[in-house]
Structures are given as structure tokens and as C-alpha cells.
Amino acid sequence: MQHTIVMTGASRGIGRVAAEHILRQSPDVHLLVVARGSSGAQLASDLGASGHAVSQVSADLGSLDSVRSAATVIRDRLDGGELPPLRGFVGNAGMQYTNALTEGPEGFESTFAVNVLANHLFVRLLQDRFAAPARIVITASDTHFGDFRHNMGMVPGPAWKSPDILARTGAFPQPDTTVAGRTAYSTSKLATIYLVHEYARRLPAGINAVAYNPGFVPGTGLARNADPISRFAMRRILPVMTLTPFATSRNAAGRYLADVVLGTTQAPTGSYVDRSRVDRSSEESYDPRREGELWEAAERLTEASLSGQKRSQMT
């Protein structure tokens, strides 16, 4: 039966590989990619070149107003029968900045806006359009462990604070530094796991939420805002590490993501999938108090954008 999967972050890296695998493995999928400007139209054209059903909606994920507009278009297309039933959302887009001072149009720190609030807003605005069985997959990161074993010291561990502080610029010491930018990233990825746990509690039966960790994947576009030396290392030097157990190739990580999205990798709601298997995330990531606090903050911070739609109840 034909169904729709909405996906962010499909234009490059593991997202592009995952999108291609999803379309090859599941010919009944209509893949709707969310991307900025004309790049989305080109992406949809490229992915659909072999006859696959692919369409696009434009959005700037750093702007909650833009996310709301995109979600409204998707809802309208679903309601009008232009799209088959919605059975999946893949929040794969991620951003890492060289500081913790980059601010989006609504005044939120951009790492938190893209990696946390944009996903939450999509989930909430599309929630009552999902047709069970459905699966929500949010790309996390093993940087949330904050130890040498998981990222070899390349990214500082998360530094959790009140979500109202994390959502604003300058949340970390020396906010103009790369260290602060990377701390914002690892902290935002811890936040995504907290929200997945909360979705598992609140979403209706038949709508599952899963966090996916691709591992360390050099050679992707994640470091595109980094300094020239870091960008060169990520593109040209660190990919050699995929020959070792310490890193995952882009192709492997993309295939693993596709398997999670399509349910080939079986994972109960609330799971953390480490590449190809369900595993435990960090001990810090299991904290019902923080999870509830983040849920309430995300609801409040996205209130203006959510108010443009009829808000469904999550108990």
C-alpha cells in the first residue's frame, strides 16, 4: 500500500544514501523531502529520476515559521489526497556551528533550533495526520555520551542546563569558540533522545518514535560551518578511519538509517538504535525529569508556530 515518508536532511551525506535505499527497498513509498529553496526541487528530481515517487517542500529549518509553513503544506497535500497516508517522519537534518552565538530569526540559538525545535514542531504539527503503523526517526549522535570511547575527545560532552537557557545564544562558557559550538551540538543530541523518550510516552499507540545513532561518520557535510582545517580533515583525512571500528562509512550509516525507517531493524518505541542494533544510550539520557522539562519548554517555545494549527492532545 502506498504511503508517505517525510524526510529532512536528505540532500547529502547519510541522508542522501538513506533516501536512495528507502526508495529502492520500498517501491510503495512516496518520499517527501524537506529542503531549502531550489535545492529541494533538484533533489526530488534526482531521487525520482528512476521512476520513484518523490516530491519536495521548501523550508529553512532554522526558522520555526518556515517549518510551520512547510508542515501546513504537507497537511494540506495529505488532506487533499495529493499524498498517500503518512506513515513516517525522518528528522535527519543536523547542524553544528563554530560558536554558540548563531541566532535564528525567532531569536533561538541555531543549533538548538534546527536539531531540537524544528523536529519537535514537525512531529507536533503532523501528529494527527499519521496513519498507524507509523514511525518517527530522529537522528541522534554518540557525542551525547561525552566520553573518549565514543568520540575520541573530538567533541566535548553535553552540558545540560534549563532548556530555556539552551534555546538561547551564549548558553556555554566562551560562547564565541568552537568548543562552545561543539558543546551546543552534543547537548542538542542529548535533547533529541530526551524528546524521543517523551514521544514514546505521549504518542498514540501505533506511532513509534526511535532515536538513531549513525556513529562517527567522517566525510559528511556536518562540518561545513567549521574552520578550513577541520573541514579539510573531515573530508580528506578522517574518512580513512572508516577502515577501523571507530568510524562508520557514509554508505553504511545511510543503509542503517533506511533500515530503521522501514522497520527492517526492529526497534520498540523509545529505542536508541546504534547503527544496526538496539542499544542503551548514555546513563544521562534516561532522566524523566529532564524529559518532561524539555517537553514543556519545547511546547512553550514553539507555541506561536503551533498556534497556527489545531493542536492535538498528547496525554
Mean pLDDT of the chain: 90
Distance in angstroms (rounded) separating the CA atoms of residues 121 and 67: 7
pLDDT score at 241: 47
Flag residues of the chain having pLDDT under 70: 152, 219-246, 305, 307-315
Q: Determine how many CB atoms are found less than 10 A away from the CB of residue 286.
A: 14
* CB half-sphere exposure, 145, CA atoms < 13 A: 19
Return all residues near 30 (Cβ < 8 A) that are at least 6 apart: 2, 3, 4, 5, 53, 54, 55, 83, 84
Grid look-up 503503523 returns 133
pLDDT score at 153: 74
For every residue of 213-274, DSSP letters joined together read E----TTSGGGGGS-HHHHHIIIIIGGGGGGSTT---HHHHHHHHHHHHHTSS---TT-EEE
Distance in angstroms (rounded) separating the CA atoms of residues 276 and 213: 9
pLDDT score at 248: 86
CB distance 216 to 241 below 8 Å: yes
pTM: 0.89
pLDDT score at 240: 46
pLDDT score at 309: 52
pLDDT score at 296: 98
| 3-state SS class at 139 | strand
pLDDT score at 229: 44
Grid look-up 529541494 returns 40
| 3-state SS class at 157 | coil
